[in-house]
Amino acid sequence: MARSTNTQFAVAVHVLTMLAGVTDGRAMSSEELSKSANVNAVYVRRVLGHMRNAGLVRSRPGVNGGWELVADAAQIKLREVWQVLQGDEPVLGLHGPDPTCVTGRSVQKSLASIDRTVADAVATALGYFTVQDVLEGVPDAAQLLNAE
Amino acid sequence: MARSTNTQFAVAVHVLTMLAGVTDGRAMSSEELSKSANVNAVYVRRVLGHMRNAGLVRSRPGVNGGWELVADAAQIKLREVWQVLQGDEPVLGLHGPDPTCVTGRSVQKSLASIDRTVADAVATALGYFTVQDVLEGVPDAAQLLNAE
DNA sequence: TCAATATGTAGCTACAATGATTACGAATTA
DNA sequence: TAATTCGTAATCATTGTAGCTACATATTGA
């Protein structure tokens, strides 16, 4: 029920992986990237803009322009991608209880604290994966369980 | 950026905490609960309906009717509340890449696997807290850090 | 039995988030 | 100089979320 409908993270990982897969030194255009991710090119530019602000990619306009990875794909943790997009926004959906209700305020505070704990857990989990891992293919959760 | 705008989890925790705080044995109406959570009574009934299906609360109509906790508040982990509402829905927002793009399909599979890892991490983190904890007040994340 | 109270749920609406689309200026290259 | 690509604003369509109304059903108490 509480699915996130925001695909920025998925799209970011997708296009970063595409860029990591470039063998010749050429740049990829937002148009090209958007085709594979099946989203709009403007959207790709917006998402990659955040990645550029974080120093993960560079872009240049014009003929043969486009986007390139700056860092080594094996050094880019998905944790960083997540944090660039997520910032300090809550992970759990928080509500706005009646400010005059004592219990309501207390619950609100607790939920905010719990949200930080969960956000840390998400960040830690995403720290296990790099763009290089995605490029090589992260094994199935089921496979991982069997391997234990 | 990827904030969840779904407040069902927060509202569920809120009203369960309210129910946990009842000292006399009376039931609380959805109307009463909705006031404190600052949401609509119908919405409260919908959310609590899921909690009832999970066996956490019971309800009865009529005069002096309303909602009561079934389980001990100290035994209800937020993990369970989360899972009741979340089910197997992805935590990260996933996209729908071009199905004819090989890399796209591969990335999609990896993201699905990573999503399961993150979902497990969230569930584990929420396993640390119970409704009773929220009733008593979960300490600030900052306070927790200072206590280390 | 009857009135009052609450749930259970369908249906409609308002609002907000997301991402598509269009448009165009600026930068770059061949 | 023409073609290409980014950067970004503005607008629109779609979807998810939750509010709201309405009413059938169940329960209680007088």
- Tens of pLDDT, residues B40-77: 999 999 999 999 999 999 999 999 999 999 999 999 99
Q: A3 to chain B: which residues are within 8 Å by CB?
A: 6, 89-90, 93
Name the residue among A10, A38, A104 with its Cβ closest to that of B37. A104
pLDDT at A5: 85
Are B36 and A104 in contact (CB < 8 Å)?
Answer: yes
Residue A148 has pLDDT above 60, yes or no: no
Residue A4 and residue B92 in contact, taking contact as beta carbons nearer than 8 Å: yes
The C-alpha of B72 sits at a distance from chain A's nearest C-alpha, in angstroms, of 18
Best mutation target, A8, A9, A86, to test chain B (most B CBs within 10 A): A9
Closest residue to D19 (CA, C1′): B40
Are B120 and A124 in contact (CB < 8 Å)?
Answer: no
Q: B124 to chain A: which residues are within 8 Å by CB?
A: 121
User: Distance (Å, rounded) from C-alpha A84 to C-alpha B10?
Assistant: 25
Residue B13 and residue B81 in contact, taking contact as beta carbons nearer than 8 Å: yes
pLDDT at A101: 92
Of B95 and A135, more confident: A135
Residue B132 and residue B73 in contact, taking contact as beta carbons nearer than 8 Å: yes
- B127: amino acid identity, one letter: G
**What is the per-residue pLDDT across A16-55, written as a single tens digit (0 to 9) for each?**
999 999 999 999 999 999 999 999 999 999 999 999 999 9
Residue B6 (CA) to nucleotide D13 (C1'), in angstroms, measures: 22
**What is the per-residue pLDDT across A93-144, written as a single tens digit (0 to 9) for each?**
999 999 999 999 999 999 999 999 999 999 999 999 999 999 999 988 666 6
Residue B2 has pLDDT above 60, yes or no: no
Question: 3-state SS of chain B?
Answer: CCCCCCCHHHHHHHHHHHHHCCCCCCCECHHHHHHHHCCCHHHHHHHHHHHHHCCCEEEECCCCCEEEECCCHHHCEHHHHHHHHHCCCCCCCCCCCCCCCHHHHHHHHHHHHHHHHHHHHHHHHHCCCEHHHHHHCCCCHHHHHHHC
pLDDT band of residue B142 (cuts 50, 70, 90) is low
pLDDT at A1: 40
Q: What's the mean pLDDT when you consider all of chain B?
A: 93
Residue B1 has pLDDT above 60, yes or no: no
Q: Tokens 């063998």 belong to which residue?
A: A23
Are A121 and B116 in contact (CB < 8 Å)?
Answer: no
Lowest mean pLDDT among A49-53, A61-65, B2-6, B29-33: B2-6
Q: How many residues does chain B have?
A: 148
Are A95 and B11 in contact (CB < 8 Å)?
Answer: yes
pLDDT at B3: 52
Q: Could you say which nucleotides of strand D lie within 7 A of any protein CB atom? A: 2-10, 15-22, 25-29
Q: How many CB pairs under 8 A join A and B?
A: 198
Residue B35 at interface with chain A, using a CB cutoff of 8 Å? yes
The C-alpha of A143 sits at a distance from chain B's nearest C-alpha, in angstroms, of 10
pLDDT at B147: 59
Residue B73 and residue B135 in contact, taking contact as beta carbons nearer than 8 Å: yes
User: Distance (Å, rounded) from C-alpha A74 to C-alpha A15?
Assistant: 15
**Which residue ranges form the domains of chain A, and what is each CATH number?**
8-88+131-141 (1.10.10.10)
Residue of A nearest to B21 (CA): A103
